[in-house]
Structure 1
Amino acid sequence: MSIKQKQVITTLATGIFTLLSFSVTAQGEQLSDQQNANLKKAIYCMEIMENRPDLSADKKIDILRNECFAEDYIQHSPHVADGRDAVLALFAKRFKRNSQITTSIKRSASQGDLVWLHQHVQRSPEDKGNAVVNIFRMQNGKFAEHWNVVQAVPDTAKNNNTMF
């Protein structure tokens, strides 16, 4: 199976998972229309960032700037400068440097104006990747603030549970 086919399958699987994940919170409560909209938008934006090899790097940046990141975006990751322009510059370099990066959203949740995405991010199909939890504060349908935690997927574990 080619890398592009794997990326298409990942995108489709994520889309199906997304459809199934709407409507309840992590506590089993019904999601509000706004929470559903925030969750759907966050997943859409993550797909643009990580799983759309059919889009040029410039097109991805245009979509992210216009549809996904608030003008006054706040970044909490210590490895990324603050602001929308900084995060878009980081992704522009990454899109051009490594087009094989993919993500698979394993879990998602929404509460109030916050959205959580638990992801498996891989630099290539052979890469074990990282377990990533991204937390976004949404405002007017865009990422307004971001926190994340990243953990490498190890070669071996002391249990038989996966990280996902």
Structure 2
Amino acid sequence: MNNLFKSALFPLLLLSSTYALASGPELNRNLPFENANREVVIKFYELFFNEHNVAEASELVSDNYRQHNPHVPDGKKPFVEFFSDFFKHNPQSHARIVRSATDGDLVWLHVHSTNGEKDRGRSVVDIFKVKNGKITEHWDVIQNVPEKAANDNTMF
């Protein structure tokens, strides 16, 4: 290939790849909508998992709530009953939100969950689906915080 062709082709390839990246779904995001969903989830999380104000927090959960954690039942009422009992037996339970992210109707929270001052806790990623200002669905990934790690990085 001669240098003139190469010099003309490179900017064209660069321009087309930049256009492909810039025309993806991220340009169609509705950030005010996503931030409103994040606010619903964070308000719920603070009320529910930190203040243990189950009654007020449950107003942010839909009646047909779907749960993907195999230890927690589906439905708003069974969900509330499950955690009301948990908080009664674990009044020191606390969940510090470390970071959050959104994508459409999904909100992710990275959380340090503990059950008292001496508990090393768990690293949790909670994923919530929000519809019309209510939490409709939940997934989580939970990992214990170990005493020792194979590296110097924290889980948070």
TM range (shorter): 0.7 to 0.9
Q: 2:102 aligns with which of 98, 110, 118?
A: 110
What do you get for the CA RMSD once the two structures are aligned?
1.7
Give the secondary-structure state (helix, strand or coil) at the position aligned to 1:106: strand
Provide the identity percentage: 41
Residue of structure 1 in register with 2:35 after alignment: 36
- 8 Å CA contact 2:30–2:104 kept in 1: the answer is no
Moved over 6 A (4+): none
Q: Which amino acid aligns with 2:66?
A: I
Aligned partner letter, 1:130 = R
Please point out which of 110, 132, 136 is paired with 1:144: 136
Which of these two proteins has the greater Rg computed from alpha carbons?
A: 2
Say whether 1:97 aligns with 2:89: yes
**Alpha-carbon deviation of 1:135?**
0.2
How many Å apart are 1:31 and its aligned residue? 5.8
CA distance, structure 2, for counterparts of residue 163 and residue 77 of structure 1: 21
Q: How many Å apart are 1:94 and its aligned residue?
A: 1.5
Instruction: Give the C-alpha shift of residue 130 in structure 1.
Output: 0.1
Which residue does the alignment assign to 1:50? 49
Q: 1:159, 1:108 → 2: CA distance?
A: 24
> Deviation per CA, 1:21-60, whole angstroms, max 9, x where unpaired?
xxxxxx8x986111011001101110011222xxxx6xx2
**Structure 1 gap ranges (5+):** 1-26
Q: What letter matches 1:113 in structure 2? A: D
What SS is found at the alignment partner of 1:46?
A: helix
The answer to whether the aligner puts 1:81 opposite 2:66 as a matched pair is: no
Structure 1: which amino acid aligns with 2:122?
N
Instruction: Please give the secondary structure, in 1, of the residue aligned with 2:42.
Output: helix
Gaps of 5+ in 2: 1-25
Per the alignment, residue 65 of structure 1 pairs with: 58
Residue 163 of structure 1: how far off its partner (Å): 0.4
Name which of structure 1's ranges 82-91 and 118-127 shifts more when overlaid on structure 2. Answer: 82-91
Distance 2:29 2:117 in 1: 36
SS of equivalent residue, structure 1 residue 145: strand
